Structure 1
Amino acid sequence: MTSLADLQNAYNTLLAGHAPVATSGQANDAFEVYTLSLVLRAAREESASICFESSRGIPNPSPILFRTSPGRIFSTAHDYSHAVIEFPDGLAFEAHIGVYVEGLAGVLHECDVLVVDAPEAQFCRRNRVHPKKSNTVLTAECKFYAGKLGIDLGRQFLGVTTDLGTEGRFFLSNADGKSVDRVLAHHKRQRFFGLTPLDGDAEGQVVALFRSTFRNLRAKRR
């Protein structure tokens, strides 16, 4: 079974060259940071450059501080960090952990990991509003469990993606979840179970999914 130390070692390796990462030390929080590191790896493999910035606009903050509970992208209560992803064609995005997104029905949904258009993120901070679904290009629901996943988690994800859309929306877990997998497969939702830094093939498959999302996004915006 993947341990907290395994997750911390993985994201520290994948975030090499950046400031140290600060987390609460809880395994689920570390799994979210680990997933973020895979998103950034995918972007980098698609030729993006990556840097970090604080919510107050400070470049290369040290340490990098991530949320450990749901928050607002415009909150200044703590100087949380996000990654800035810039592609050679001029497209720019921000990658965050634990930020609310507004769906079509006006309902707020917590996204464990999300990538949003950089201009949208800047607009939200200036005007103290939540990112809109249409400008949120990738989200990941991250579940770190010691046992099997319950079917209710699958139903919750279906509800969220009904409001936020299905494109670029992922359900990721380190655990097995046959019933969750079955229901998400039936509804054609993107998911991956058994994600762990101890399995390079699993990592590679998830990175490939993220790369495909970035590649399709860039093709649509040419």
Structure 2
Amino acid sequence: MALSSLLTNVESALGLSIDLGYASKAKDHDLYEAYVLTLLLFAAHSEGWNLELRDGWGHAVTNPLFRLGPGRITSRKYTFARMTKAGREPLEAHLGVKVSGQAPVGISPPTKSGRLLHEFDLIVLPETIASACRATGDDPDHTAVTVHAEMKFYTGKLTLSLGRASIGMALECGLSGKSVLISNQLGYTVQDLVQHHSVAFRFNVLPSNSTAEWHVQKWFSAFL
């Protein structure tokens, strides 16, 4: 699938035009992450959540700007989705945010938490946690993550190493049972491996595959 096709799908789903600087620099895997975010938002809407796009200052966004690489939640210029529902704690969905894991920093560069930071493709956090991190300059703790998804947009066969990496992330950050690996490709050995360790796997996920999209949205709905 071409970048232009993914971009068109994301813009249509959000009902907004994506920042041209982002669109001109982004690669297929960046837009694939934004595409999966729209599947999460569709799932949230079906569960009765109200949705709005915001930046780190709390302003409503009409020209979304998503990350092209992992960064800290304290960088306020990027777009996230705020989700609200009567009787429920407000949530935020972010792309490309670093999260503090369990392993302490030893000889690697120091971090504010004293623990290693890990790059998460897509996470959902309680708004109270996200807001506190922006105010204090902290990174979200892995225990605050409500939903986690890793996305792999490949032109060839998925390798078993991807499955091992997903398991490692799940163990390090306590994500078993609330983490999913989503790809545009098949990967039977990867699926066997990650599902054994309580990481879900959704394959052939593309705008042209409504059945696969439904399975992704159903998985997201279980956590909202």
Q: 2:193 corresponds to which residue?
A: 183
Q: 1:211 corresponds to which residue?
A: 221
Spell out, residue by residue over 1:148-168, the C-alpha distance to the aligned partner (whole angstroms, 9 max, x if none). Answer: 111111111110000122132
- Using the alignment, how far apart are the partners of 1:191 and 1:4 within structure 2? 23
Q: Letter of the aligned partner of 2:82 in structure 1?
A: V
- Using the alignment, how far apart are the partners of 1:103 and 1:212 within structure 2? 24
- The 5 Å alignment of 1:160-171 reads 160-165=169-174, 166-171=176-181
Q: 2:65 corresponds to which residue?
A: 65
Paired-residue identity, %: 31
Q: Count the aligned residue pairs.
A: 208
Mind listing any 5+ residue stretches in structure 1 that lack a counterpart?
Answer: 215-222
Verify the 8 A CA contact 1:114 1:140 in the aligned structure 2.
yes
For residue 144 of structure 1, the aligned residue among 130, 136, 153 is 153
Q: 1:55 corresponds to which residue?
A: 56
CA displacement at 1:139 relative to structure 2: 1.2
Verify the 8 A CA contact 2:177 2:198 in the aligned structure 1.
no
Spell out, residue by residue over 1:76-109, the C-alpha distance to the aligned partner (whole angstroms, 9 max, x if none). Answer: 4xx1111100112132011111000112333211
Spell out, residue by residue over 1:25-80, the C-alpha distance to the aligned partner (whole angstroms, 9 max, x if none). Answer: 31000000001011111111100000111112222x2311111011000024xx11
Mind listing any 5+ residue stretches in structure 2 that lack a counterpart?
Answer: 104-114
TM-score calculated relative to the size of structure 2: 0.88
| Residue 154, structure 1, aligned to residue 136, structure 2 | no
Verify the 8 A CA contact 2:100 2:117 in the aligned structure 1.
yes
Verify the 8 A CA contact 1:64 1:81 in the aligned structure 2.
yes
Q: 1:217 corresponds to which residue?
A: none
After alignment, is 144-153 or 160-169 more displaced? 160-169
SS, match of residue 36 in structure 1: helix
Q: 1:4 corresponds to which residue?
A: 3
Q: 1:39 corresponds to which residue?
A: 40
| Residue 21, structure 1, aligned to residue 18, structure 2 | yes
Q: 2:110 corresponds to which residue?
A: none
Q: 2:144 corresponds to which residue?
A: 135
- Using the alignment, how far apart are the partners of 1:128 and 1:169 within structure 2? 26
**CA RMSD across the alignment:** 1.3
For residue 80 of structure 2, the aligned residue among 57, 79, 82 is 82
CA displacement at 1:131 relative to structure 2: 0.5
Verify the 8 A CA contact 1:101 1:110 in the aligned structure 2.
yes
Q: 2:99 corresponds to which residue?
A: 101
Verify the 8 A CA contact 2:178 2:199 in the aligned structure 1.
no
Q: 1:220 corresponds to which residue?
A: none
Verify the 8 A CA contact 2:11 2:18 in the aligned structure 1.
yes
Q: 1:117 corresponds to which residue?
A: 126
Give 4+ residue runs of structure 1 displaced > 4 Å after superposition.
none
